[in-house]
Amino acid sequence: MIQDNCITNSDFPSLFNAADQASLSAQGKYLLLIRSDLAILVASAIMSSWSPNGPDPLAIPSAILATVGIFITGQLSSSKLERVWFDARAVAESVKSLTWRYIAASDPFPSSLSDQNLDEEFLKEVYKVLGERKDIASELNTEVSATPQISEKMREIRALPVSDRRNFYLEHRVQDQLNWYRAKATYNRKARSKWFNAIIASQALSLIAAILHAVFADFPVNGTGFFAGLATAFLSWLQVKRHQDLSQSYALAAQELGSIESLGRYVTSDESLSNFVSQAEEAISREHTLWVVKRSG
């Protein structure tokens, strides 16, 4: 029996953890730039909503905001943040899938391999993943990368009897991934509705502001542009997050993986476990590949 009935990120290869950290860091910086750009758009719309009869005291602040906005847009265009986000995530998920195949003694790491051949084959596959996306190597944390690629927990779980390996894989890989897919599908479905409602409300307020300005033409404040800018910002954020696409893809992935999970009861040998793991990992990899393609597209 293993010492504790769980597996954490620290038990996965160092390349997984380094790529995972690089992806999360690039994602956070990229989305921060997007939010900043959209905030400047809304702030500029606020400033433009006031039209005084005399000199405009907001002219200089508006010019400064526009300059900052150009700089941020330039950063978004020239930086590699989006590409690092996608590529590092692809590396992390590929290494994670290889790790579960190693743990479960599934192809290409069958139980028939000797310890040395097993480790050599695993390391070859791990570095092959990085070699396919070598551009992100410079983005990886060298301290994290210095930890082992094959942990003692990985070896410990692999040494378990077939039934224990099957149960461990079902609980900590399949069920965990299923719960993640279902939670993300629900979250993205609700988020899509929330942002669409915000867009509709902003457009309605823009219409109301336009009518009020037509009735009270001498009033120096016209909120039409502000609410239109707000609606544009909300729509842009919705396009960045792609909640509709994610909700559908996660829901479909959950259905497919749930169907595969039901076959787990028939796993009674190394061969059947290997086939079962291959099916599950292919389903998980397919969903992630589709995610990368949609984001890149």
pTM (predicted TM-score): 0.85
Looking at the domain assignment, is residue 2 inside a domain? no
At residue 145, the pLDDT reads 62
Which has the higher per-residue pLDDT, 125 or 239?
125
Cβ-based neighbours of 228, under 8 Å, separated by 6 or more: 45, 202, 203, 206
CA dihedral 176, 178, 179, 183 (to 10 degrees): 140
In a domain, 41, yes or no: yes
Measured on CA atoms in the order 116, 121, 124, 127, is the torsion positive or negative? negative
Residue 1 maps to a domain: no
Which residue from 285, 290, 256, 287 is spatially nearest to 94, judged by alpha carbons?
285
At 127, the pLDDT band (50, 70, 90 cuts) reads: very high
Whether 3 is covered by a domain: the verdict is no
> Could you list the residue range(s) of the whole structural domain that residue 96 is in?
11-296
152 in a domain, yes or no? yes
Which of 123, 115, 120 lies closest to 98 in space, CA to CA?
A: 123
Please check the confidence at residue 38 and state whether its pLDDT lies above 80.
yes
Q: Is 89 contained in some domain?
A: yes
Cα dihedral across residues 193, 199, 205, 208: positive or negative: negative
Average pLDDT over residues 104-127: 94
CA distances from 76 to 32, 34, 81, 212 (A): 10, 8, 8, 38
| pLDDT for the residue numbered 47 | 76
What Rg value do the Cα atoms of the chain yield, rounded? 25
The tens digit of pLDDT for each residue in 271-293 reads 999 999 999 999 998 887 777 66
% of the chain residues with pLDDT over 70:
91
Q: Return the pLDDT at 261.
A: 92
Question: Nearest Cα to 230, choosing from 254, 214, 206?
Answer: 206
266 phi/psi in degrees, rounded to 5:
-90, 0
pLDDT tens-digit map of 96-112: 999 999 999 999 999 99
Examine residue 145 and state whether it is found in any structural domain, yes or no.
Answer: yes
Instruction: Encode pLDDT of 43-83 as tens digits.
Output: 887 777 666 555 556 667 777 877 888 888 888 878 889 89
Contact present, 33 and 75 (Cβ < 8 Å):
yes
136-189 pLDDT, tens digit per residue, is 888 888 776 667 899 999 999 999 999 999 999 999 999 999 999 999 999 999
State the residue for tokens 């996608």.
86
Nearest to 184 by CA among 256, 244, 239: 244
Which pLDDT score is estimated for 33? 92
Mean pLDDT of the chain: 87
Confidence of residue 15 (pLDDT cuts 50, 70, 90): very high
Count structural domains, the chain: 1
Region label for 288, one of left (φ > 0), alpha (ψ between -120 and 50) or beta (otherwise): alpha
Residue 57 has a pLDDT of: 63
pLDDT band at 1 (very low <50, low <70, confident <90, very high): very low
pLDDT value of residue 196? 94
